[in-house]
Amino acid sequence: QGISELITVPGLINLDFADVRTIMSEGGAALMAVGQASGEDRALKAAEMAISNQLLDVTIDGAHGILFNVTGGEDLKLFEVNQAAAIIKETAHPDVNLIFGAVVDESMGDNLRITVIATGFEGTSISTSLNKIEEQRKTQAERKAQAEQRPLPSMLIDEDGNKALAGQQGKESYEFPTRINTDDLDVPAFLRKRNQN
């Protein structure tokens, strides 16, 4: 949704597929992030949220190619777009190829959203972080597969009608009565009347 929105939604400063292709041509790992804020200094807050992902513990430090889009309400100012660009450019590589767009969306109200796509990371900081995340996913998938392959204990029924869990021989088995004593049960009134007739 994020990339298609960048390309298809018309704005004050439009981005198109050629811009996305230019940034993606930097190669290497790619990072896409979104930051949203409202109120005072919303552009600064949204930009900071977008350039550092707290969940993945990765940032856009050293990126050679960055494309970002600022979406805000009718009160969106070019000054806010410049503020966001300055913060994003600070963290990137000195020779970064920075492309940006701006869109006015009335439904945003006081909110301001910044979508960032960063590629061409220098060094291995983000690659290492992304590799660690991928390794964790593989480990979790392997554990899940092992758990699914473990045989579940099956129920054994012996000739006496006793049930015991497999592998628990020698433990007390539970006996279920084969006959129920009906003398202790009350017979409903309509059945008593029918039996008397």
The larger pLDDT score, comparing residue 37 to residue 130, is at 37
Shortest CA distance to 98 belongs to which of 113, 86, 110? 86
Spell 26-64 as b/e; 16+ CB within 10 A means b: beebbbebebbbeeeebbbbbbbbbbbbeeeebbbbbbb
Per DSSP, the three-state class of 123 is coil
Please indicate, yes or no, if residue 32 is contained in any of the structural domains. Answer: yes
Q: What is the 3-state secondary structure (H, E, C) of 9-42?
A: CCCCECCCHHHHHHHHCCCCCEEEEEEEEECCCH
Residue 83's domain spans which residues? Answer: 2-129
**Contact criterion met (CB below 8 Å) for 64 and 93:** yes
Give the integer Cα–Cα distance in Å for 10 and 26: 25
- Condensed to tens digits (0 to 9), the pLDDT of residues 82-95 reads 999 998 888 888 88
Q: What CATH number corresponds to the domain at position 35?
A: 3.30.1330.20
Residue 172 or residue 44, greater confidence: 44
Neighbouring-strand partners of residue 78: none
What Rg value do the Cα atoms of the chain yield, rounded? 33
pLDDT for res 54: 62
Question: What's the angle, vertex CA 59, arms to CA 57 and CA 65, rounded to 5?
Answer: 150
Residue 66 counted as domain residue: yes
Average pLDDT of every residue of the chain: 75
Model confidence at 51: pLDDT above 80: yes
Q: How confident is the model at residue 165 (pLDDT cuts 50, 70, 90)?
A: very low
Q: Max alpha carbon distance in the chain (Å)?
A: 103
Least confident segment among 45-54, 118-127, 144-153: 118-127
Domain-located, residue 164: no
State how many domains the chain has: 1
